[in-house]
Structures are given as structure tokens and as C-alpha cells.
Amino acid sequence: MVRIRQLSNGIRVVLERMPYFKTAAFGVFVRVGSVNETRENNGISHVIEHMLFQGTKKRTARQLAADTAAVGDHVNAFTSKEYTAYYGVTLSEYLPRLIELIGDMLNDSLIEEDALKKEKGVIQEEIDMYDDSPEDLVHELLQKQVWKNHPLGFLISGEKDVVQSVTRDEILAFMEAHYTAENMVLSVAGHFDENEVFEQLKEAFEPVKRGESRRLAARKALKNVRPDTPYHREYPGTDRDGTLCAPRYVPGFCASRKDIEQLHMNLAFPSIPAWAPEKYTLAVLNSILGGSNNSRLFQVIREELGLAYSVYSYGSSYEMAGLFQIDVTLNPSQARIAFDKIFEEIEKLKTAYVDESELGIHISQVRAELAMGQESPKSRMNANARAVLFQGKIESLKHVSDAVAAVRADSILDFAARYLKPSFASMCLVGPIDGKVQEEWEQRLSELQNGNP
């Protein structure tokens, strides 16, 4: 049973009791990420995530680490494009301590200059780590390419020089604008007493200020910024009062040379927002095309032709927009035939109905994955928080499972025909490629987009 309640300051609280567990998960989800940033402060959300572990008014960073270990050492945080989360999983008896600990971090972090300087160095190393990971890089570069200058395309970690320039005052101002009650959801799942936990949440989080509406904050963001920043009134990603608008997908090509053996290829098509009704159709289509070992791409490109070890598809869906992406890692000499085979399989989805047997297998697979993905307090805490943060409601597992079961072959074909058009295709390559090879691939993509396979 899931209940949604509210603190006196407006923070929404979602509670799901799972009494058959001995553990509980708790998280604070803040509706702010790289999509809320500008060119001048890109990466600041991620910097704040780091800084909240660096000491509060009553705990040093070392004491935070010790108290984290004392509740099981499963306290962590992450920043995404649209939200930041601080969470932990612990024994039910330690849940009050976990709530107080994360509340202390959110309400009373010091953000000291010395700690900020040190943590910037840590973040610089993290940025280098992602840059050294071609699997991550090819995805991020393509997102940056297709969303152009819209903040949805910004790197979550930010650029190194921008991160280095972030000041303590900017962090405090950014937190004051975004770390407000209206932007927060508290989520608890597992074994706990609801009334006791709600009182603990009140004590820890009712000090959070209500804050201004996002629309008013957006108007203020227009002041004293350069004309090329995403919140300027002339920027196409915002309306006249500065409220962030949906990004426009722009097909494109990008590449990055890396001295590695294999070529990483990522393809993208425009898709649906995370909460669109067609999300169930997308889930089944993804399973059919490349989302599993039984998918068409895996079976053809890896199992039948032996062209690649890794090939898969996935959705990158956000509140206002989405992408459907295909990733393949392979020897550069095999890339051309793999590219052609991928589009052959896409064309089959657009022109022929999936037979009932294949459709049934993938519907069953998606339903099983949904059920298994909700089998732990941590997964329930996470899913509930995101649903309330962005939809204001929670769909039951039965509702979602029934909706997946209702997906039909004609909806798969219609979705593929609408979104997976060659003219919409974008590509990013990372690996051992020179300028000439990049030009050849860009030309190949252009030919495909223009109907010349």
C-alpha cells in the first residue's frame, strides 16, 4: 500500500510499507539537474551533490562518513539531467538515524571554501574518468549534438573550466532557488511504522523553505545574464518569461577520436517523453529490437553474423522529450555492414507486423522485468519518488503490467513508422577514426537521411 502525504511546508512524502523486509530505503529527490543550468554554471547541480557530503554545522566530513558507516554504509547520491537524489538503505531500526543524517546534509551543509576547492579536484578527476570511458562518452556527445544548445544536452558533470569557476556564493544562491519544498519529494519504502516515520520526516525536513514558483524563479533568472545563456528571453528553449520549453531535436553527426581498438557507434532517433501514454509500446518495441539477448539486433548482429560483442537499444526519456538509441561496439572493419543491418531491422519493424508469438515473448519479458524491478525497498523508493516528483501520482504494478500486456502489433508498427525514420537518424562515433573516416561516415549518414541507402 502506497500513501502520499504532505508536510506543512508543502514537501510531498510517499510511503510504501513492505513489512516482510527487515530493511528500509529512504531518499530525498530534488527536482533540479543539468537541465536547470546555464552555460556559465553547467555542472553546479553535480558540485552541490558532492558538497553535501563535505560537512555540516554539527558533523565534519569524517563524521558524516562514520555515521554513514554506522547505518550500514549504503548512503549515496547522484545527479541526473532533471533531478538530484540523496538516499540510503538500512536496517529498519536505523531508519530514524538515516533520516536525521540526510536531513542534516540537506539543511545544514557548510559549503566551506577549502572543501569546495578540494572537491573541485575530485570532480575534475571524475570528468576525466567519463571522458576515458567510450561507452559513456559516445552517449553524452550524441545527446549534446541532437539537443544543440538546449540545457537538456548539457553534460551532467559540466565542463572542467566551468566547474572550476563555480563559487560558494553561486552554490548557495542556486540551492536557495532550487532546494525548496515545492521541488522536493521524500520517499520511504520497506519495513517501518508510518506515523513514527512521518514525525521523523517532519522534524528533519519542515525547516526547508517553501521557495518561489518555478515561473517566478525563471523570470529572475533572465536578469544579468549573457544573451547566449539558456535562460535568456531570446533563447528558443524558453518562453517569454523564461520558463524552460521542450527542446527541439536536430538530427546530426559527431565523432571523437580515441586511441582504442574498437569503434563505439551510437545512433539516435527522436522519441517520446518519459510519461507519455506510448511508453508501454516503446518498452515492448525496445525489447523486440535491441533490449534483450532475444532481440532482433542481438540475434542478427552478434549471434548470426558475429559482427559485435555488444549491441543493444534503449530509451532516453525525459519530462519534455526523449530519444531512442542504439549502441554497438565493434571492430571498425565491421562497422559498415553492422550499420546497414541495423537499418534493415528497423525497416522490418516499420513495414511488417510483429507476429503474435514474438510479441507475446517480449511482452512477457517486459512484464517480468517490471515485477522484478520492484522487488526491493530501494527500487520501490526510487520509482515512487520519481513518479510523484514528475507525475504527482503512482501507477500500480498491476496497471503498468496490464498496459504492457495490451500492446499490439499495430501499435509497434505505428510507433516505429512515426519515430524511427532514416531522415531523423543521428550518429556519434568514438574510437580509432581519423578526419577522412569521419567525413565518410557523415556522408553515409547524410545519404541515409536523404533516402539514398
Q: Over the stretch 369-423, which tens digit does the pLDDT of each residue have?
A: 999 999 999 999 999 999 999 999 999 999 999 999 999 999 999 999 999 999 9
| pLDDT value, residue 3 | 96
160 and 72, same domain (yes or no)? yes
List, as one string, the DSSP characters of 11-37: -EEEEEE-TT-SEEEEEEEES-SGGG-
* DSSP SS3 for 185: strand
Give the CA distances from residue 242 to residues 182, 245, 422, in Å, rounded to whole numbers and listed in that order. Answer: 19, 9, 34
Task: Write out pLDDT tens, residues 77-101.
Answer: 999 999 999 999 999 999 999 999 9
The verdict on residue 31 lying in a domain is: yes
**Are 262 and 401 part of one and the same domain?**
yes
Q: Give me the pLDDT at residue 272, please.
A: 96
> 95 is written with which cell numbers?
531508519
Judge if 269 and 313 occupy the same domain: yes
Cβ density class 384-409: b for 16+ within 10 Å, e for less: bbbbbbbeeebeeeeebbebbeebee
Length of the chain counted residue by residue:
453
Whether 118 and 192 map to the same domain: the answer is yes
Residue 453: per-residue pLDDT: 61
Tens of pLDDT, residues 6-15: 999 999 999 9
Q: What percent of the chain has pLDDT over 90?
A: 90
Q: Are 262 and 310 in contact (CB under 8 A)?
A: no
pLDDT tens sequence across 184-208: 999 999 999 999 999 999 999 999 9
Phi/psi at 279 (5° precision):
-60, -30
The CATH number of the domain holding residue 392 is 3.30.830.10
Q: What is the pLDDT of residue 264?
A: 98
Q: What is the pLDDT of residue 1?
A: 84
Among the candidates 221, 237, 261, a domain finishes at 221
User: Are 273 and 197 in the same domain?
Assistant: no
Mean per-residue pLDDT, 428-443: 95
Would residue 72 count as lying in a domain?
Answer: yes
pLDDT value, residue 149: 85
For residue 241, pLDDT over 60 is answered with no
In a domain, residue 397? The reply is: yes
**pLDDT for the residue 445:** 95
The residue annotated as part of the active site, out of 49, 82, 140, 345, is 49
| 163 within a domain of the structure (yes/no) | yes
Judgement on whether residues 76 and 15 belong to the same structural domain of the protein: yes
The domain in which residue 392 lies consists of 253-449
- 262 with 150, same domain: the answer is no
**One domain, residues 93 and 197:** yes
**Where residue 368 falls among pLDDT bands split at 50, 70, 90?**
very high
Q: Are residues 207 and 269 in the same domain?
A: no
In a domain, 248, yes or no: no
**Following CA atoms 275, 280, 283, 286 in sequence, which dihedral angle do they give, to the nearest 10 degrees?**
-110
Say yes or no: 298 and 417 in one domain.
Answer: yes
pLDDT surpassing 50 at residue 234: no
Contact (CB, 8 A) for 269 and 314: no
Domain end, chosen from 177, 203, 221, is at 221
Collapsing DSSP to helix, strand or coil, 169 comes out as: helix
- Average of per-residue pLDDT values in the chain: 92
Catalytic annotation present for 49: yes
Residue at 360 is within a domain: yes
Question: What is the number of domains present in the chain?
Answer: 2
Last residue of a domain, one of 221, 242, 267: 221
Query: In degrees rounded to 5, what are phi and psi of residue 87?
Result: -150, 165
Judge whether 240 lies within some domain: no
Burial of 239-278, coded b for 16+ CB within 10 Å and e otherwise, reads eeebbbeebebebbbbbbebeeebbbbbbbbbbbebbeeb
Residue 88, SS3? strand
Residues 197, 99 share a domain = yes
**Can you give the pLDDT at residue 237?**
47
Q: Is residue 149 part of a domain?
A: yes
Reported as a single tens digit per residue, the pLDDT across 25-77 is: 999 999 999 999 999 999 999 999 999 999 999 999 999 999 999 999 999 99
- My answer on whether 217 and 259 are in the same domain is no
* Single-letter amino acid code for the residue at 79: T
pLDDT tier at 124, thresholds 50, 70, 90:
very high
Decide which of 241 and 2 is more confident.
2
Whether pTM > 0.85 for this model: the answer is: yes
Rounded to 5°, the CA angle 238-243-248 comes to 35
Q: Using a pLDDT cut of 70, give the percent of the chain over it.
A: 92
